[in-house]
Amino acid sequence: MADEDDDIEWIREEAKESTPLTPATPATVVNSFSTDFVALNNPKTIEILAPEASEEEKPRKENSPPEVTDSNLLSAKGFGQPPDTPTSIDDSISFDISECERQLNNTTAEAKELLQRLGEKTQLATENNAKISQDLAEAQNDARKVRWDDTVHKTIDDHFQVPPPPELPSGGLPRNVESVLVGEGLVEAVTGTLVLPNGLVLVTDEVHGVLLFDIQGGVVAKVNPPEFKRFTSPVYHKEHILMLADAKDNEGHCARFVIKFSLGLQYVGRIECPKWLQEHTILRERLSIAHTDFLYLCVCGEIFSGLYELTPVGQWTELEYKLSEAYIDMLAFATVGPITQLLVVEGRKNYVLLISVRESQIVDRKRMAICERPGALARDEAGRLFVANRSSASIQLVDTMKWASARNVAITDAMVRHFTACWGLLAIPLKHAIRLQRYSFR
């Protein structure tokens, strides 16, 4: 027993000298963990009695700082307390959430305001686009409705609003007469016809020269000088008449000339055509003049076709030379600024060329099929375009808005090499006469 007491007293001295075991020390935590572990394994309740503190340790515990335990840590962190218990940490968290909510509300309000402004701007842009589209559509409709005066025709679809062709200043055909024959038995090979503003009909004939007829068919004048032969393709321009004829040049050689006459068939002057044409056989030739006083000559040979321009100063320029093509007719149709538009009929392929000429050069070229087999072309003083359709043996009015023949104006022979439309009359050459026929759109 003495030994046992000595052992117990020794243990107590070690306990005094060593650090007192408290629940916060690692030993206590280890003991507690081991006890819980044993309790979990053994369903029996195990009670562990903590060693009693000595009298010397009591005042030390009273003066020592509060013990830090697991329960204290949980209570300091807010665990294990009712949700309604306020803490300093909860107050700071609630304050931060309120500030975030306020900022979120402000941001939401600003976003709603921006969206509202964006919607207003979008609606305004949509209204502006709709207004611009409407204005553009109206402008396009106005552009399609081409306004013409009394001297220019509208599209053929509106032919009921087209003014009637003007009558000749000197009087045309009687109102109950649709057509008459002029020069019957007085001409043999008609190469060109022309209705003059004074009411006379000019006819060029290879045998009888140049003749003037009145509406009733009487001969007013006749010119057949021996120095000129083969008159053809008469054109009226500024109180003068231009035509092609053969004559001798200064060297005594036969050449082709452009001859100028007055309305009374008085000779005014001449200018020679391109000389190299004398070396070829010319089957057809056509003369036309634009409003700019530029003269255009179209020739069709055996194996070629050519297009030439004569300036007001007397200079010839070759615009086009084509092999294996047949230019059977040509017409100076319109002048738009510096550009002159020429209509050329290609007889082999049955189409019409719209050629744009600027500064003696071809700048544009288009092919058009205005009818089945186009032949001769004619344009009256109001700008109406007529074409002789070789397929239907008729003269048709061409809608220049669509570039297609619209309606028949006259019935002719199958082959019309040339004709004239002027002052409401068509001058159509026949075998031994000229037929004058009235045309109208009513």
Provide the token pair at 199. 């009411």
Provide the token pair at 399. 């809608």
Q: Determine the pLDDT at residue 281.
A: 85
Burial label for 270, CB within 10 Å (0-12, 13-18, 19+), is: middle
* Cβ atoms of 260 and 242 closer than 8 Å: yes
Residues linked to residue 258 through DSSP beta bridges, in sequence order? 244, 271
Question: With a cut of 70, which residues of the chain have pLDDT below it?
Answer: 1-95, 143-171, 414, 441-442
SS (H, E, C) the chain: CHHHHHHHHHHHHHHHHCCCCCCCCHHHHHHHHHHHHHHHHCCCCCCCCCCCCCCCHHHHHHHCCCCCCHHHHHHHCCCCCCCCCCCHHHHHHHHHHHHHHHHHHHHHHHHHHHHHHHHHHHHHHHHHHHHHHHHHHHHHHHHHCCCCCCCCCCCHHHHHHCCCCCCCCCCCCCCCCCEEEECCCCCCCEEEEEECCCCCEEEEECCCEEEEECCCCCEEEEECCCCCEEEEEEEEECCEEEEEEEEECCCCCEEEEEEEEECCCCEEEEEECCHHHHHCCEEEEEEEECCCCCEEEEEEECCEEEEEEECCCCCEEEEEEEECCCEEEEEEEEEECCEEEEEEEECCCCEEEEEEEECCEEEEEEEECCCCCEEEEEECCCCCEEEEECCCCEEEEEECCCCEEEEEEEECCCCCCCCEEECCEEEEECCCCEEEEECCCC
Provide the token pair at 297. 């000559």
Residue labelled with tokens 């009909």: 201
- pLDDT, tens digit (0-9, with 9 covering 90-100), for 365-404: 999 988 989 999 999 888 889 999 988 888 989 988 888 8
Task: Kindly give, in sequence order, each residue whose CB lies less than 8 Å from that of residue 107, ignoring residues fewer than 6 positions away.
Answer: none
398, HSE (Cβ side, Cα atoms, 13 Å): 27
Question: Measured between alpha carbons, how far is residue 186 from residues 179, 212, 417 in Å?
Answer: 18, 11, 19
Closest CA to 241 of 221, 266, 223, 222: 266
Q: Specify the pairing of strand 385-389 against strand 374-379.
A: antiparallel
Q: Determine the pLDDT at residue 150.
A: 41
* Cβ atoms of 418 and 329 closer than 8 Å: yes
| Residue 151: other Cβ atoms inside 10 A | 10
Question: Measured between alpha carbons, how far is residue 199 from residues 170, 214, 385, 398 in Å?
Answer: 6, 7, 21, 25
- CATH topology classification for 156-438: Methylamine Dehydrogenase; Chain H (2.130.10)
* Cβ atoms of 216 and 183 closer than 8 Å: no
The domain spans of the chain are 2-77, 156-438
Provide the token pair at 132. 């611009």
CA 302 to chain centre: 42
Residues linked to residue 395 through DSSP beta bridges, in sequence order? 388, 410
Closest CA to 426 of 71, 182, 133: 182
* Cβ atoms of 16 and 56 closer than 8 Å: yes
Q: Specify the pairing of strand 267-272 against strand 254-262.
A: antiparallel
- pLDDT, tens digit (0-9, with 9 covering 90-100), for 26-64: 444 444 444 444 444 454 444 444 445 455 444 444 445
Backbone angles phi, psi at 286, to 5 degrees: -140, 135
